[in-house]
């Protein structure tokens, strides 16, 4: 029994020190990984914000390009088109 106590006492401190060292390295690695993950999340959030701004700008551009007033002006100027007059309109029954 005394031999076992001597061996246990002789190996306890070095094993405990190695265990503490391994745990300290693990904690340091976990902190470093967490910090890198936070940076990556911040970068991704910035990209999302930039993409949302771009999407808003494109939506506004589409709204402008599809506006009836703009299309009518382009049709008149570029295609020499105009809305139909009363003389050009016919009832559906008279249509060929």
pTM for the full model? 0.55
Question: Coil, strand or helix: which one is 31?
Answer: helix
Alpha carbons 63 and 67: distance in angstroms, whole number: 6
What is the reported pLDDT for 13?
79
Average pLDDT along the chain: 89
Residue with tokens 């910035």: 46
Handedness of CA 38, 39, 45, 48 (dihedral sign): negative
Decide if 81 contacts 75 (C-beta within 8 A). yes
Confidence band of 4 (pLDDT split at 50, 70, 90): low
Per-residue pLDDT of 19-31, as tens digits, reads: 999 999 999 999 9
Per domain, the residue ranges of the chain are: 2-79
């Amino acid at each position: 029994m005394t031999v076992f106590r001597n061996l246990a006492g002789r190996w306890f401190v070095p094993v405990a020190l190695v265990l503490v060292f391994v745990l300290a390295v693990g904690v340091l690695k976990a902190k470093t990984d967490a910090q890198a993950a936070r940076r990556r999340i911040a970068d991704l959030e910035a990209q999302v914000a930039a993409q949302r701004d771009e999407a808003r700008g494109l939506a506004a551009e589409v709204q402008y390009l599809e506006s009836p007033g703009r299309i009518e002006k382009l049709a008149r100027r570029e295609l020499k088109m105009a809305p139909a007059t009363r003389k050009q309109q016919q009832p559906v029954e008279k249509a060929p």
